[in-house]
Amino acid sequence: MEIVLKIEKNLEKIKDILLKDDTISRASITFKEGRLFGEEGFYFLISGSEEQCKRALELTKNIAEEIKNEKKDEIIKKIKEEEEIANEKFGLIFG
């Protein structure tokens, strides 16, 4: 399961909340600046079990906005493309 959340500020507070939680910290969490998408704020992609994603939504319900539908798909695609490019460059260094 994958969810995308957006915050306007307080990135460190969100990181602290998510990474200190035993359930959520075991999920894959990717933080990106909104500039990557031509927007303000920060986005984060959480990939994990249904339990982990529900817990993340519960802990951030008053702080973050869940992104859904086509916008969610666009953000996930952009994050994964960026990760692939970074992996390719890393491979060139050590390849």
Q: State the average pLDDT for the chain.
A: 90
Region 2-15: mean pLDDT is 92
Question: Across the chain, where does the E strand assignment appear?
Answer: 2-7, 28-33, 42-47, 65-67
pLDDT at 67 over 80: yes
Q: How confident is the model at residue 90 (pLDDT cuts 50, 70, 90)?
A: low
pTM (two decimals): 0.85
Region 60-85: mean pLDDT is 91
Region 43-63: mean pLDDT is 95
Could you give the domains of the chain?
Answer: 2-94 (3.30.70)
In the block, which residue shows the tokens 């994050």? 79
